[in-house]
Amino acid sequence: MRFNFAKLQIESFHSLWVSSFWSRHEFATREEVEAEIPLFRRWYMYHYYPPALSGQGEYVRATINTQEQTIGFWHQASAEASWQLIKTRRFVIKETGFFRSCRKHH
């Protein structure tokens, strides 16, 4: 599988997460947040299309899971196509003294 990287655009998931999740609702509890996350994920995986594609073209996404310490590379050939997992890689996050001390206090 080859991609035309000349047309590559990088989209920030963080700004999408803020505008489509955190800014959409004021959560009162952690449970409310946890209940809403699967809905956001489903929307993102099956209904969201990057504005730059205007419903056309192919899309490649890298999903980083810090809890499982994996990165998955996904491909969508067109707006109508299903997402296909291309490859998954593992990585290691080494914990620093700062994060160990934060965890002890919570």
pLDDT of residue 87: 95
Q: Which of 55, 61, 53 is nearest to 84 (CA)?
A: 61
pLDDT tens, N- to C-terminus, the chain (106 residues): 565 555 556 666 677 888 888 888 888 999 999 999 898 888 887 787 777 667 677 888 888 888 899 999 999 888 788 889 999 999 998 877 665 666 665 5
For residue 57, the tally of other CB atoms under 10 A from its CB is 16
Write down the domain spans for the chain: 5-104
DSSP label at residue 23: T
DSSP string, 32-81: HHHHHHHHHHHHHHHT---GGGTT-S-EEEEEEETTTTEEEEEEESSTTS
The answer to pTM > 0.75 is no
Tell me the β-bridge partners of 73: 62, 87
Look up residue 100 and give its two tokens: 């160990």
pLDDT of residue 73: 92
